[in-house]
Chain A
Amino acid sequence: MAPKVEGPWARFRSEFAESRLAMAGLLVLVAILAIGILAPVISPQNPYDLAQLDVMDSKLAPGEKSAAGGTYWLGTDDQGRDMLSGIFYGLRISLGVGIASTVFALAIGLVFGLVAAYFGGWVDTLIMRIVDIQLSFPAILIALILLAVLGQGVDKIVIALVTVQWAYYARTVRSSALVERQKEYVEAARVLALGQARVVFRHLLPNCLPPLIVVATVQVAHAIALEATLSFLGLGLPITEPSLGLLISNGFQYLLSGKYWISFYPGVALLLTIMAINLVADQLRDILNPRLRK
């Protein structure tokens, strides 16, 4: 049998499993990731291939048959796109966009926020004024400029989202780091003449993380929703390659008309995804937070 001394990984596992809600979230998340990765294999249709769509099959209700004989279990959208396949492929794009933009924005924001807080003075001033400018620039204007200059595409949307979000992190990190910087352990590290990078990343960073993780997990969802909003404003992804957000915003106009499935099912998929991410992240944060160690 297992010895009494547990490795850190085993302890992590048992701590995580303490919450059944988190385990459920993890299960859903794994399933969703699997669907996203396997989308091309398991989808009845390639919703991005215009040759496979038929506008004569458009707006069919869930369960109706296509002209060619197949069944659309979740109905079709206004182009005759199978909603089920659309959701599988859309998950892939939405998750990719949400996670990529959050990771990049977080990394950039973290570095600038820490540097601003640690060095203070004109460095701080410069960074924070850039942050001010950035935060006042509406996402729609940034997306529009990028669209005009770079054209349309998934990578451009990620750039737009990172541009919109990094400043947000920078400010959050800076405020936590300002407090931490004054604490004894940073002073001590400084007195010990440890390298500055080491002080910043080994000492300041871990202690600024908890509020940041809260913001970041929420922001993955926010990034996905923001992408949906940009699509809603006509600035998102190419319409022939819809993400979940784009599916929802396309279906949005059918909400009042009773053709609920065009935006309802993608909405459910989005909701499940975001819930799962957050349930898992909540538990992770509680486990990893050094200050919550009992």
Chain B
Amino acid sequence: MLAYAIRRFGQSVFVLVLMSFLVFIGVYAIGDPIELLVNPQADEVERVRAAAALGLDRPFLAQYWVFLKGAASGDLGRSFVYNEPALTLILDKLPATIELAFVAMVMAIGLGIPLGLLAGLKPDSFIGRAIMAGSILGFSLPTFWVGLVLIMVFSVQLGWLPSNGRGETMMVAGLPVSFLTADGLAHLAMPAVNLALFKLSLLIRLTRAGTREAVLQDYVKFARAKGLSQGRVIGVHVLKNILIPIVTVIGLELGSVIAFAIVTESIFAWPGSGKLLIDSINQLDRPVIVAYLLVIVTLFIVINFVVDVLYSLLDPRVRLGGAAASH
């Protein structure tokens, strides 16, 4: 286990370096930040000065080398636009996004698995079909469209919920959270639903598919025959069988929710890191883009690690790190 963790850590460093290099190339390919940062009325002297001030006058590889040296000592550079350390900017915004992602994920899991189980156990009933048909709605329409319709209905027409921003926050363990205040919850409700819809549908469908298979398998039939209660059969045997694909998708989706809540955040003006990322991309604020993606990769690595460990716990047949030695 420990050896596995260490090996995984070594790989992660490699991933981070490769990732940062790819982002450097990518941003370089998109365009020249000076074009966007310098006031268009400025002359050539000013452009040259700005390029030098931001270190953009050096050759590409030299710029990357400067970044690597800084990164090794924990300095991911300063935002071109905000002149604040990129990491500080991101870490200031990340809790809001994580909270949003977390609430959305809890909604999706809390509703998705029970509904999926229900649809899987009673596939031919009206309710089963209704759940399945309804779940299609969740991913048929683009997020931005659904978001605006939510605002139209709940903020503009009914006036129940605020249309933008995060609302009042409370400090819990040094982090500001908003789901503990009424104002915060009101602000959180719509963006979280908007973000949860797709995951909810996906989870309903995965759970249903897994359940349908599981109930037909011998060990479940056997457990039923033994006279185990319906609750126990579902809770232990069925659920266990369907968890692997579900855990995978949850892992994937949690990561993608955190990383790419961009659209939801911009519609609801949620002050999270997704909005920071898209603004940084629009401005080609390279230090922020690079630092942001490094933070996200790190998050992914951690999530994937946890997911892999979960596999081995959920299903002893899966050995950590694969069965490399056997062939």
Main SS of the interface on chain A?
A: helix
Point out the residue from A138, A181, A267, A289 that lies within 8 Å of B213, measured CB to CB. Answer: A289
Q: A181 vs B297: C-alpha distance in the bound complex, in angstroms?
A: 28
Docked-complex contact B293 and A221, CB < 8 angstroms: no
| Chain B contact residue count (CB 8 A cutoff) | 72
B198 in complex: contacting residue of A117, A182, A222, CB < 8 Å: A222
Known pairs A140-B262, A292-B213; A122 contacts B324 (CB<8 A): yes
- The answer to whether A135 and B252 have CB atoms under 8 Å apart is yes
A48 to B197, CA, bound (A): 33
Q: Which of A9-17, A80-88, A268-276 contacts B (4 or more CB under 8 A)?
A: A268-276
* Residue numbers in A under 8 Å from B148 (CB-CB): 252, 255-256
Verify if A172 is at the interface (C-beta below 8 Å from B): yes
Q: A255-B149, A263-B145 are in contact. Are A133 and B19 (CB under 8 A)?
A: yes
Instruction: Say which residue of A21, A124, A138 sits within 8 Å of B322 (CB atoms).
Output: A124
Q: Within the assembled complex, what's the spacing in Å between the Cα atoms of A141 and B256?
A: 14
Q: Does B11 contact A (CB under 8 A)?
A: yes
B245 at the interface (CB under 8 A from A): yes
Q: Return A146 CB to nearest CB of chain B, in Å.
A: 9
Q: List the B side residues contacting A151 at CB < 8 Å.
A: none
Bound together, the chains give a CA A98 to CA B14 distance in angstroms of 34
Query: CB-defined interface of A245-270 with B at 8 Å, one 1/0 digit per residue?
Result: 10011001001100000010001001
Most chain A beta carbons < 10 A, residue from B143, B209, B262: B209
Bound together, the chains give a CA A275 to CA B132 distance in angstroms of 10
Chain B nearest Cβ from A27, distance in angstroms: 15
- Inter-chain contact B244/A21, CB cutoff 8 Å: no
Count of chain A residues near B, Cβ 8 A: 67
Asked if residues A232 and B263 are in contact (CB atoms below 8 Å), the reply is yes
Of chain B, the residue at the smallest CB distance from A168 is: B252
Instruction: Determine whether B281 belongs to the interface, using a CB cutoff of 8 Å to chain A.
Output: yes
Find residues 265-313 in chain B having any chain A CB closer than 8 Å to their own CB. Answer: 277-278, 281, 289, 293, 296-297, 300-301, 304, 311
B205, A214: Cβ atoms closer than 8 Å: yes
Q: Which residues of B contact A124 (CB under 8 A)?
A: 321-322, 324
CB distance from B112 to the nearest CB of A (A): 12
How many angstroms from the CA of A179 to the CA of B216 in the assembled complex?
A: 18
B142 touches A133 (CB 8 A): no
**Are B198 and A136 touching (Cβ within 8 A)?**
no
Question: Does B26 have its Cβ within 8 Å of any Cβ on chain A?
Answer: yes
Knowing A252-B148, A275-B133 are in contact, say whether A178-B324 is a contact too (CB < 8 A). no
Q: How distant is A218 from chain B, measured CB to nearest CB, in Å?
A: 6
Smallest Cβ distance from B261 to chain A, in angstroms? 11
If A140-B278, A271-B137 touch, does A215 touch B249 (CB 8 Å cutoff)?
A: yes
Chain A nearest CB from B222 CB (Å) reads: 16
Judged by a CB distance under 8 angstroms, whether B191 is at the interface is no
Other-chain residue from A117, A129, A133, A252 in contact with B144 (beta carbon distance below 8 A) = A252
Q: Smallest CB–CB gap between A220 and chain B, Å?
A: 10
A55 vs B321: C-alpha distance when bound (angstroms): 61
From B142, B149, B260, B324, name the one whose CB has the most chain A CB atoms within 10 angstroms.
B142
With A145-B26, A256-B156, A275-B136: A136-B300 Cβ-Cβ less than 8 Å? yes
**Min CB–CB distance A170 → chain B (angstroms):** 11
A129 touches B249 (CB 8 A): no
A210-248 contacts to B, CB under 8 A, are 210-211, 214-215, 218, 221-222, 225, 228-229, 232-233, 245, 248
Cβ 8 A contact of A211, one of B144, B206, B259, B323: B206
Residues in A neighbouring B19, C-beta threshold 8 A: 133, 136
The distance from the CB of B150 to the nearest CB of chain A, in whole angstroms, is 11
Task: Check B26–A179 contact: CB distance below 8 A.
Answer: no
The answer to whether A221 and B140 touch (CB under 8 A), given A148-B29, A175-B311, is: yes
Return B28 CB to nearest CB of chain A, in Å.
Answer: 10
A291 at the B interface (CB under 8 A): yes
Give complex CA distance A69, B148 in Å.
35
- Residues in A whose Cβ lies below 8 Å from that of B325: 121
The 4 closest A-B pairs by CB, nearest first: A120-B322, A121-B324, A182-B317, A274-B140
14 additional A-B residue pairs with CB within 8 Å, beyond A132-B304, A138-B293, A225-B142: A120-B324, A121-B322, A122-B324, A129-B11, A133-B18, A135-B256, A171-B248, A172-B245, A175-B311, A178-B311, A214-B209, A225-B140, A274-B140, A291-B216
21 A/B residue pairs, CB under 8 Å, sorted by A: A21-B133, A121-B323, A121-B324, A129-B11, A136-B293, A137-B293, A140-B260, A140-B278, A141-B293, A171-B252, A172-B245, A176-B244, A178-B318, A183-B317, A211-B209, A218-B202, A222-B198, A228-B145, A248-B145, A249-B144, A274-B140
Interface residues of B, Cβ cutoff 8 Å to A: 11, 14-15, 18-19, 22-23, 26, 29-31, 123, 129, 132-133, 136-137, 139-145, 148-149, 152, 156, 198, 201-202, 205-206, 209-210, 212-213, 216-217, 244-245, 247-249, 252, 255-256, 259-260, 262-263, 277-278, 281, 289, 293, 296-297, 300-301, 304, 311, 315, 317-318, 321-327
